[in-house]
Structure 1
Amino acid sequence: MVTPFVSGWESGGTPRLVAYQDIVKVWTICGGETLGVKPGMVETVAGCELREEAALIRHAEPVLACTPVLRTHPNQLSAAISLAYNIGTAGYCRSTVARRFNAGDWRGGCDAFLMWNKAGGQVVRGLDRRRRAERDLCLKELPR
């Protein structure tokens, strides 16, 4: 569920096979992977798929560690992993999203995704769209 949702937010739906600097000048490749990316790096489509899968697994464990309440809530977990993939697991675990989920405030947690729509202090249209999509997914089959 997470991989199809995350794919394409960073790259407009098509993986970028040559490293580039994102809006805040972080070296990035494929669909938003930053780990170990250097200028001039090139990747294949298959390599991008493997990188993304590994990255999502790498982000899922810390998300579940700091918000164990998500273990039985796949829509909220998928949205949270997508957010953590974008803002980092430390950022996610300190976020209002995580605090509200852990407090049992499911709707408040989902609404808090919308706070993360900026880069370099400025609202970014693509991030705003992504956060709204994550919130929409989060609100599906919301726990009572």
Structure 2
Amino acid sequence: MKLIANWKSVAKTAHSMWAFYASLFCLLLPEVIFWGFEIDTNPRIWWVLGVALLIYGIIGRLWDQGIDRTKMRSPWVVGVMALGLVVVLAMQHGTSLTNTVTGTSEPSVTAEIATPASAPAATASSDTSFLEIAVPFVGRWEGLRLEAYLDIVGVPTVCYGETKRVRLGDSYTKAECDEMLAREIISYRDRLRPAFTSQTLANRLPIPRDVAFTSLAYNVGVSGTSKSTAVRRLNEGNIAGACTALGWWNKAGGRVVRGLVNRRSEETELCMRGVA
């Protein structure tokens, strides 16, 4: 490979080269933001910026920039402005992993999953044993704030997303927040109960699996969970298929969100405990 004679000047000053640099930055930055700050950014932002940088690079490639002249005009200011815009937009439009997802629709999946020969019987969950697993599991995904704050739509919120009778300036201990979350979790579990058959409640819902389905209901709503393929399969005795179907609820706003993928993965693992 033979480099062009003025490759150093082109690498430092050409608009098309700066478009390449900024494009690479746009590819890497979403991953850095996710792993460093646990913010899953909107891919539409990166698509728009990618197209803009592509257009910038095409124009820059055809623009006489005077690179071969004695005095060169560097586009570094343009590059810095573009990178600054990337950071600002990413942070403004990032979606927190702990955001509760509403309106999530279950995808259409046609593949059949084989039913296991049998699933071990389980005893009904006692509230205490159930909450020992459910509170830390759900709480870790919802996120804890001990002082009241305004959520994304301006509603005073505290603890693990509690909004009832909350005012700005309120503060709570972790124990108080855990107690509030426990009440909410029990409420969701009890409202989900009618969706299960008596046989499912008696033999197919050990505590870990109960936590998994309740966590899904807490995240996407009781109505959606009750009508889900996961519940239907569990009632049919297809435990492995039911647990797999929990993982389908991984979208928000029509796109797959890594935080939801991770949460559904852990719920599926809980659900599958004890299944051969």
Deviation at 1:122, TM superposition (A): 2.0
1:21 lines up with 2:151 in the alignment: yes
Distance 1:126 1:70, change over 3 A: farther
Aligned to 1:55: 184
Deviation at 1:70, TM superposition (A): 3.8
State how far apart, in whole Å, the 2-side matches of 1:38 and 1:122 are. 32
Aligned to 1:46: 175
Alignment partner of 2:259 out of 114, 126, 131: 126
Q: CA offsets, 1:61-115, max 9 Å, x none?
A: 1222211414443221111011111111111101111111111111111001111
Q: Give 5+ residue unaligned stretches, structure 2.
A: 1-132
| SS of 1:29 mapped into structure 2 | strand
State how far apart, in whole Å, the 1-side matches of 2:235 and 2:177 are. 33
Instruction: Compute the TM-score of the two structures, normalised by the length of structure 2.
Output: 0.45
1:2 lines up with 2:134 in the alignment: yes
Alignment partner of 2:250 out of 100, 113, 117: 117
- The alignment of Structure 1 onto Structure 2 pairs a total of residues equal to 137
State how far apart, in whole Å, the 2-side matches of 1:16 and 1:101 are. 35
Deviation at 1:127, TM superposition (A): 1.3
Deviation at 1:42, TM superposition (A): 3.4
Q: Name the amino acid aligned to 1:40.
A: L
Seq. identity, %: 36
Alignment partner of 1:65 out of 150, 175, 194: 194
1:137 lines up with 2:270 in the alignment: yes
Alignment partner of 2:240 out of 107, 113, 122: 107
Instruction: Compute the TM-score of the two structures, normalised by the length of structure 1.
Output: 0.80
Structure 1 outlier segments of 4+, above 6 Å: none
State how far apart, in whole Å, the 1-side matches of 2:150 and 2:258 are. 19
Distance 1:96 1:51, change over 3 A: same
Deviation at 1:26, TM superposition (A): 8.4
Deviation at 1:41, TM superposition (A): 6.5
CA RMSD of aligned residues (A): 2.4
Q: CA offsets, 1:22-50, max 9 Å, x none?
A: 6xx585532244x5376736341233112
Q: Give 5+ residue unaligned stretches, structure 1.
A: none
- Which structure has the larger Rg? 2
